[in-house]
């Protein structure tokens, strides 16, 4: 009798674990495969990344987070530069956030990129880390909160690049 009871307990525990894993996957996480070179050298084409879904209660998009969002029925991965209320300016080859210079080797612009952007309600200004190849908010404007799929938290494939995603930007707003 004990063996039958143990088998039932194992089956119930396994079933519960599968249900819990499915619940976590559906409501908290998603995966994405990077499909272009616009975020190199942070992400390479073919990298598989894990996202913390935007509907997760503690997941608030902040400046310099890397997100996946939908644009014209295509999912893209970019870095959030400006959030609601921010002033983003590109001038003289440099990037400014709220009048403070954002110093990073990725962000060197040409004069054709010059522009001033005031981020509106529930909007984001995004850039790719590979400025020369990236089509981003300089070209298609702001993205809206409803289009954000989630925030990148892990590179899980290829195995040689497996790592928790570490945001390289430490900019004080």
**Active-site residues: which are they?**
38, 78
Report in angstroms the alpha-carbon separations of 143 from 31, 41, 118, 138, 166: 20, 23, 13, 11, 23
The radius of gyration of the chain from alpha carbons, rounded to an integer in Å, stands at 20
**Tokens 């900019």 -> residue:** 171
Report in angstroms the alpha-carbon separations of 39 from 14, 22, 76, 115, 128: 39, 30, 10, 21, 5
Residue 131: CB partners within 8 Å, gap ≥ 6? 106, 107, 108, 109, 113
């Amino acid at each position: 009798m004990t063996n039958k009871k143990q088998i039932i307990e194992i089956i119930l525990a396994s079933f519960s674990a599968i249900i819990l894993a499915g619940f976590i996957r559906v409501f908290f996480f998603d995966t994405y495969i990077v499909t272009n070179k616009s975020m190199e050298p942070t992400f390479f084409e073919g990298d598989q990344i894990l996202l913390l879904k935007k509907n997760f209660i503690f997941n608030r998009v902040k400046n310099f987070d890397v997100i996946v969002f939908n644009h014209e029925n295509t999912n893209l991965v970019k870095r959030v530069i400006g959030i609601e209320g921010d002033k983003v300016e590109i001038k003289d080859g440099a990037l400014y956030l709220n009048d403070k210079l954002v110093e990073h080797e990725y962000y060197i612009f040409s004069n054709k990129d010059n522009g001033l952007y005031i981020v509106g309600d529930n909007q984001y200004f995004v850039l790719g880390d590979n400025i020369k190849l990236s089509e981003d908010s300089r070209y298609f404007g702001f993205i809206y909160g409803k289009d954000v799929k989630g925030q990148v938290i892990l590179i899980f494939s290829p195995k040689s690049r497996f790592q928790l995603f570490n945001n390289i930007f430490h900019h004080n707003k």
